[in-house]
Amino acid sequence: MSRIGKHPVPVPAGVDVKVDGQQVTAKGKLGQLSLTLIDDITASLEDGKVVVKPANDSKRARVMWATSRTLINNMVTGVSQGYTINLEINGVGYRAAVQGKELVLQLGFSHDVKYPIPEGITIKCDKPTAISVSGYDKHKVGQVAAEIRGWKKPEPYKGKGIKYETETILRKEGKKK
């Protein structure tokens, strides 16, 4: 039995969850998300909680049980609270700024990197070396943060580049004489 899948997903106040066959929709103050479950999983709304169960005893149903429950939980949390990922920029002359609907990064290239901000995502730069990516879709927030980080990953010698706030960079020792 799945240790994660057997727990029902609590629905907080202000979030409206609808289960229509294999389609699960969550609507809250931040937005609306929907998910189509595979045929091996069933979901139902009971006492203000979403209960996810496998439809049969196949291996695929057991594998996707907890995954489906986690995806529904991420939807409910996203439309009620939202998600935020913070990035830090290290390096001399490296900086970021939001100009209109674009994030402009100066990362030591001969040109500025202009990243268009997607729908449903907000990016803030409180300091020139700090980027905050937030939104209601966990997958989209993580993807945007990974794309921004991908422009200049942190290098192991001086730690220059864009890194997650919680990330630690394993440093290497430089050349010796």
CATH of domain 81-162: 3.90.930.12
pLDDT given at position 132: 97
Pairwise pLDDT comparison (8 vs 177), residue with the higher score: 8
pLDDT value for 1: 67
Torsion of CA 88, 90, 94, 96, to 10 degrees: 10
**Are residues 15 and 78 in contact, defined by beta-carbon separation less than 8 angstroms?**
no
Which residue ranges does the chain devote to CATH 3.90.930.12? 2-79, 81-162
* pLDDT of residue 177 exceeding 90: no
pLDDT digits (tens, 9 = 90+) for 60-84: 998 899 999 999 999 999 999 999 9
Tokens of 85: 């990922």
- Please return the burial class of 154, using the count of CB atoms within 10 Å of its CB with bins 0-12, 13-18 and 19+: buried
Task: Quickly state the pLDDT bin for 2 (edges 50, 70, 90).
Answer: confident
CATH topology of domain 2-79: Outer Surface Protein A; domain 3 (3.90.930)
- How does pLDDT run across 114-170, given as a tens digit for each residue? 999 999 999 999 999 999 999 999 999 999 999 999 999 999 999 999 999 999 999
Inform me whether the pLDDT recorded for 176 exceeds 90.
Answer: no
